[in-house]
Structure 1
Amino acid sequence: MPITEVVSNAEALTLSIVADYPVPLARLWDAYADPRKLERFWGPREWPATFTRHDMAVGGYSHYHMTGPDGTISRGWFRFLTITPHQLIEVEDGFADEHGQPNTDLPGMRMTFMFEATETGSRFRSVTYFNSVEEMEKLVEMGMMEGMRSAMSQIDDVLTDLATFAATLATHAQLLNDTQVRVSRVVRGTPAQLWRAHHEPALMQRWLTGPDGWTMPVCQVAKSVGERYRYEWASNDGAQRFGFEGELLESMAPHRAVTSEQMIGTDGPATRNEMTLTPVEGGTLLSILITYPSKELRDMILGTGMTTGMEASYARLEQELLAA
């Protein structure tokens, strides 16, 4: 078990934890930066976590829920206040209601996560700051101490699973629930480079073409919130053509962009696509959380080989970035 120290200070209203790991500092940091890894240890063993948002940038948010043995759902959120790469993460943390909004009936807190290299690997220090003795006691009564110990006892398996840290892994789609899918891939490049690659039409038309045999003749980019975009693809033989259009709903360069998306020529409801770009070892974690209007549409789209086409495009994007 990696925890080497737990100190509760009622006068200072703090709870401090120290844990040591025999792995490089960058790998420990990436475990907190990558939601695919974080959700494997953020919740206690009996209450595994699922992250439906994780914008690890100052001002960004994370939304998650933990599912108990009987199916009970407990929701939470945190907002990033400070980030110093490979050194410090500071967040405001709280509970959420069934709509994902902050639940002010339950206590909130501030947490700092500190990272440092050691002779044997890396060290993690966390300090939780409570607002009052009463709130501190309430959270302890709710099982916070036991939950944190159980959660952190799982991180060893995550850190030693070298395959999940490989920057060469192909595009992967993870089903989060009946209507949401998270598509992820580490792309060798910086967040700024990937942001540019998603906002410059001439560059997009070189890489965002899916499998061989297709081109992107129409690439109208939305650069400001409220603007609409339109993308169209055509097969080289001219026999097939399709496209998508939608609206830019949120934008926080170079970390997060949210769009609606609908196939051109259809009347069905749109999907919501949330793209986040997070620096990790080996490049940038490109993650797209797609919310579909129904499970049936989700399964139909995934059944078209969507991730195969996305992987072809991202591989082409890497070649563009490496050649630049």
Structure 2
Amino acid sequence: MKNAGTLVVTTPSDREIVMTRVFDAPRDLVFDAHTKPQLLKRWLTGPDGWTMDVCDVDLRVGGTYRFVWRHAAGGSEMGMGGVYREIVRPECIVQTERFDQAWYPGEGLGTLVLREQDGRTTLTSTMLYESKETRDMVLKSGMEGGVSASYDRLATVLESQISGATKGAA
């Protein structure tokens, strides 16, 4: 699959980080990849060397999610979770985000918006933090590299979903 786009990161306000990427896939598939544990575990792993060992999703308003990642070298672990505040399939998900080992203060609020045109989906993920200092701390953390690597894997997962559907229809 050709890379439909690269990750674009912007900071439209003192408390927000907006990440945008285009995928060569319909938004139904991109939505599923963000909500189905069997797909999330294949791509949402950040930088190389990490795996997602826990992926619990209760996809309903007021439902929770819980993710735990483990690094192969040394076995360090990182966990996070949150609550779904809004779900409009296949257009939008709004959820809170709080890490177990609070490496930034408070919680973030994430909004995922998916827009499809001509079979391609533009994903826009906005994170709203409690302060400019927190936003800046996240920007300096290497988050962009981890998100970019994960989205590259997501493109591969989406390609396999499309290929599997095409083979199944043949």
TM-score interval, normalised by the smaller of the two chains: 0.7 to 0.9
2:46 paired residue number: 210
1:223 paired residue number: 59
2:167 paired residue number: none
1:273 equivalent to 2:90? Answer no
1:306 equivalent to 2:143? Answer yes
One-letter identity of the residue aligned with 1:177: S
CA distance in 2, matches of 1:184, 1:280: 15
CA distance in 2, matches of 1:280, 1:300: 34
One-letter identity of the residue aligned with 1:315: D
Q: Percent identity?
A: 34
**Per-residue deviation, 1:282:** 6.3
**Per-residue deviation, 1:271:** 0.8
One-letter identity of the residue aligned with 1:285: T
2:14 paired residue number: 178
* C-alpha contact 1:207 1:320 (8 A) present in aligned 2: yes
CA change 1:282–1:305 in 2 (3 A) is farther
CA RMSD of aligned residues (A): 1.6
* C-alpha contact 1:172 1:307 (8 A) present in aligned 2: no
* C-alpha contact 2:18 2:127 (8 A) present in aligned 1: yes
CA distance in 1, matches of 2:44, 2:146: 9
CA distance in 1, matches of 2:49, 2:157: 18
How many residue pairs match? The answer is 158
CA distance in 2, matches of 1:240, 1:205: 17
Q: Which runs of 5+ in 2 are unaligned?
A: 162-170
**Per-residue deviation, 1:211:** 1.6
* C-alpha contact 2:105 2:134 (8 A) present in aligned 1: no
CA distance in 1, matches of 2:23, 2:80: 23
CA distance in 2, matches of 1:212, 1:275: 24
One-letter identity of the residue aligned with 2:70: A
So what's the TM-score if we normalise by structure 1? 0.47
CA distance in 2, matches of 1:188, 1:213: 26
Residues 1-324 of structure 1 correspond to what in structure 2 (within 5 A)?
Answer: 168-266=4-102, 268-281=105-118, 283-324=120-161
**Per-residue deviation, 1:200:** 1.0
Q: CA-to-partner distance for each residue in 1:74-128, whole Å, 9 max, x for gaps?
A: xxxxxxxxxxxxxxxxxxxxxxxxxxxxxxxxxxxxxxxxxxxxxxxxxxxxxxx
Q: CA-to-partner distance for each residue in 1:20-63, whole Å, 9 max, x for gaps?
A: xxxxxxxxxxxxxxxxxxxxxxxxxxxxxxxxxxxxxxxxxxxx
**Per-residue deviation, 1:265:** 3.7
CA distance in 1, matches of 2:119, 2:32: 19
Q: Which runs of 5+ in 1 are unaligned?
A: 1-166
CA distance in 1, matches of 2:156, 2:108: 29
Q: Bigger radius of gyration, 1 or 2?
A: 1
One-letter identity of the residue aligned with 1:291: L
So what's the TM-score if we normalise by structure 2? 0.87
> SS at 1:297's partner residue?
helix
* C-alpha contact 1:186 1:282 (8 A) present in aligned 2: no
CA distance in 2, matches of 1:169, 1:254: 20
CA change 1:173–1:297 in 2 (3 A) is same
> SS at 1:198's partner residue?
helix
> SS at 2:35's partner residue?
coil
CA distance in 1, matches of 2:149, 2:118: 22
**Per-residue deviation, 1:202:** 1.3
> SS at 1:268's partner residue?
coil
Q: Would you tell me which structure has more helix in proportion to its own residues? A: 2
CA distance in 1, matches of 2:143, 2:117: 25
